[in-house]
Amino acid sequence: MRYSYATHLECSLTGERYDIARLQGLSAAQKPLLARYDLATLKREVTRRDIEARAPTLWRWHELLPVPDARFAVTLGEIETPLVPLLNSHRRADFRAPFVKDEGRLPTGSFKARGLSLAVSMARLHGVRRIAIPTNGNAGAAMAAYAAQAGMEAFCFCPDDTPEINLSEIALQGATVWRVNGLINDCARLVEAGKAQFDWFDLSTLKEPYRIEGKKTMGLELAVQFGWRLPEVVFYPTGGGTGLIGMWKAWQELLELGWIAAPLPRLVAVQSSGCAPIVRAFDLGADTATAWKDAHTVAAGIRVPAALGDFLILQAVRESGGFALAVTDEKILASRAHVGASDGFLLSPEGAATYAAYLQAAEAGLIAATDRVVLFNCASGLKYPMPPVTDHMDVDKPFAGGIARRAAPPP
Ligand SMILES: Cc1ncc(COP(=O)(O)O)c(C=O)c1O
């Protein structure tokens, strides 16, 4: 039994093969590279029982990850994240309570830990000493943390309205961080521009092949958590789309292993109406998305005007029989308040977007009452700006203003 069954990398557009033993970025066609595994041998040598018998962490899936040996893993304790049912929050009558997969429990408070743990492990294995990333916040925070753990230098480029807490956590975790007067695509250009001069390795979404392998574990976890019978619908807040593409890849691999059976979940790409290039492309029936102008949304993580993997996102959503939905920022904020007050679950704005989209989809008849639904909350709600509390109480005149319960109606 091998630790990893990874064999090679493959261009996601042309299928051209690349050596996995070497450090790789994009393919010659300038498209993402995907890791491939010897699934036939894995199927003979490993069983679902073997996986289930291990501690519930990301690393229980090591055969389906590229890290060749446990010694090379850079880890901060990547737990399997829980599925929490929203029992009290509003849903259509007779509908099952949706589950939230709470990625906020991971190191650095977001699912970016999954991808960056893998990417930093592989970069270190290949002798990289210096890494850089364009980031809306959470990816930079995770990169900084894993780089510190690995003893690497880290450089983060953030749009200047990135949540304050992200900038501070990146800095406190030892990375150099700049506010950039542009969006994430402008930050990506700066990473590119500095490559030759500063010799850093570019960890941008899908520009190296390993972040997606880490994100893939979200799909693997859902399989084991649902007893190898995947849910019917998965709502995913979509920015660069690594998680969505990664889950789709995970399920293809599990199908090939015979560990799950079709049908697979329908994937729903959720975006904000202030930045919805994938939703627009989906509605137009297009294979790729055009860049979104003047992107703005309170859900910083999904403010991605142009995604390198747009064609892969659209392909996965369509192949799964899913759909794409945009929700307004007003609905996102109302959802955060409603779920927080009803179920005691403080969603991130991106996670709140999936709840708003879930209600919208149910109203539109796009999902069925009997569907088992998973909503992804990709970061802790604690990482985002929140409305200030303005109520004061005078100890000498207590309760003068009454004690009204705060209302938080559904969006
Ligand atoms: C909280 C949160 N949700 C969703 C996303 C979008 O993830 P992906 O790039 O996999 O589409 C991000 C990305 O920054 C994020 O931070």
With bands split at pLDDT 50, 70 and 90, how would you rate the model's confidence at 1?
confident
pLDDT in tens, 100-120: 999 999 999 999 999 999 999
Q: Is 103 in the pocket of ligand 1 (CB under 6 A)?
A: no
For residue 406, pLDDT beyond 80: no
Q: Is 271 in the pocket of ligand 1 (CB under 6 A)?
A: no
**Residues contacting residue 373 through CB under 8 Å, at least 6 positions apart:** 96, 98, 99, 231, 232, 233, 234, 235, 358, 367
With bands split at pLDDT 50, 70 and 90, how would you rate the model's confidence at 261?
very high
DSSP classification of residue 79: B
pLDDT in tens, 41-67: 999 999 999 999 999 999 999 999 999
Q: Is 381 in the pocket of ligand 1 (CB under 6 A)?
A: no
**Beta carbons of 83 and 99 less than 8 angstroms apart:** yes
For residue 366, the model assigns a pLDDT of 98
For residue 400, the model assigns a pLDDT of 86
- The b-or-e profile of 216-227 (16+ CB within 10 A means b, else e) is bbbbbbbbbbbe
Q: Is 166 in the pocket of ligand 1 (CB under 6 A)?
A: no
Task: Give the nearest ligand 1 atom to 349 CA.
Answer: 1
For residue 403, pLDDT beyond 90: no
Per the listing, tokens 């190296």 go with 208
Q: What angle do CA 25, 30, 32 make, to 5 degrees?
A: 60
Q: Is 277 in the pocket of ligand 1 (CB under 6 A)?
A: no
What is the 218 CA–ligand 1 centroid distance (Å)?
Answer: 13
What is the 349 CA–ligand 1 centroid distance (Å)?
Answer: 11
Mean pLDDT across the chain, nearest whole number? 97
